[in-house]
Amino acid sequence: MKRINFTVWALIVTSFAIFYNASCSNVKQDSSEEHSKLIKPEDIVKRGNYLVTTMGCHDCHSPKKMGANGPEIIPELMLSGFPSDRPIAKFTEPMIKQGFAVFYPDLTASAGPWGVSFSANLTPDETGLGNWTEEQFKKAITEGKYKGMDGERMLLPPMPWNNLTQMTDEDIHAIFMYLKSIKPVKNLVPAPISPDKM
């Protein structure tokens, strides 16, 4: 008799625990969905600005000029990539053969064993991200696919896409919304130069 009571009691406790656990996970999911609906679009854009700034996107994607405190972003060219009207410098082959990577003074272009790469235009102009979908953007920064498309080449160094593979969908969305909100800059960045053509 005691054995039957214990078994019944154990089944009741186990059933209650399973029900409680299932109901709590639903509450967490519902509250997370409700929370994302409550976030204002301007707060998402602010979050994107914060991420772009703290992740160092300006380091390579924003043209700069020398100022009193060193390189300063040129505000009207912010996040527009390597300026297409700028002459492309010649890089010394011996340094590259030794494994060195060299950068333009404002970091918008670099050369190394991969050839010469130019930082992309991230503004919402048609020469930048203007025609991109958020899914393309996600594929580009988390999978390293050029233009976020399967079958395209991989993004070249120094783009650290492999550091971004674990980025959350929320952060990707915030960055994409921020980039879509900034001033478009018409700037068709040059194609990369292969090592044999340097």
pLDDT of residue 90: 80
- Tell me the pTM: 0.79
Does the structure show a pLDDT above 60 at 157? Answer: yes
Which ranges in 39-163 belong to alpha helices (H)?
41-54, 57-61, 93-97, 134-143
**Domain ranges, ordered by start, for the chain:** 51-197
Per-residue pLDDT tens digits for 159-174: 999 999 999 999 999 9
Structure tokens at 170: 């929320």
Burial 31-45 (b: 16+ CB within 10 A, else e): eeeeeeeeeeeeebb
Sheet strands (E) in 18-144: 64-67, 70-73, 102-103, 109-112, 115-118
